[in-house]
Amino acid sequence: MATPIFANRAIHYRPDIDGLRALAVLSVFLFHINDQWLPGGYLGVDLFFVISGYLITSIIRRQLEEDRFLFREFYARRIRRILPLFFTVIFVVSIVSFLLLLPDDYKKYWRTVRYAIQFVANQAFTNQDYFDVASEEKPLLHLWSLAIEEQFYFFWPLILF
């Protein structure tokens, strides 16, 4: 008989999920180093979304079943986990962009910062080819995936509730 994922109100460590996460991150990393090494490696982002969705849904579902889900705690955990690194990235990339980008490109960069801070960077890059040459000149392009994740975190608990 299979061991339940959740017992005693705690989530058991899942090495298989950590292994899948590592494969997802590695595939994206290798793809960005050289897209010929692992064509389609960007699909690791999709895999990461599936894993994240599974884990978050499991946590929320369990807490709802136990009548102990609190929106405040859920969002506070997301904020503590994501925002410190997010703002560090924005800060560092802004300094480097100031030093490296031309004035018109720097203005475009700040447009994407405004979208990123609102967690709608995916909308800032809509109708643009992710793989075009100009994508190398968009320092925050990778934040489209974080925006989707944050939108999921915002709406999914409301839907499940």
| pLDDT digit string, tens, across residues 117-160 | 999 988 877 766 555 556 666 788 888 888 888 999 999 999 98
Averaged confidence pLDDT in the chain: 84
Among 39-43, 105-109, 119-123, name the one with the lowest average pLDDT. 39-43
DSSP three-state, residue 7: strand
Asked if 69 and 62 touch (Cβ cutoff 8 Å), the reply is: no
* Residues 6 or more apart in contact with residue 63 via CB below 8 angstroms: 69
Say what the pLDDT of residue 132 is.
Answer: 57
State which H helix or E strand residue 100 sits in: helix 71-100
pTM above the 0.85 mark? no
Of the listed ranges 13-22, 36-45, 95-104, 110-119, the least confidently predicted one is 36-45
> What pairs with residue 11 in β-bridges?
6
Which residues, listed in sequence order, are joined to residue 7 by a DSSP beta bridge?
10
CB atoms within 10 A of CB 27: 20
Residue 11's SS3 state is strand
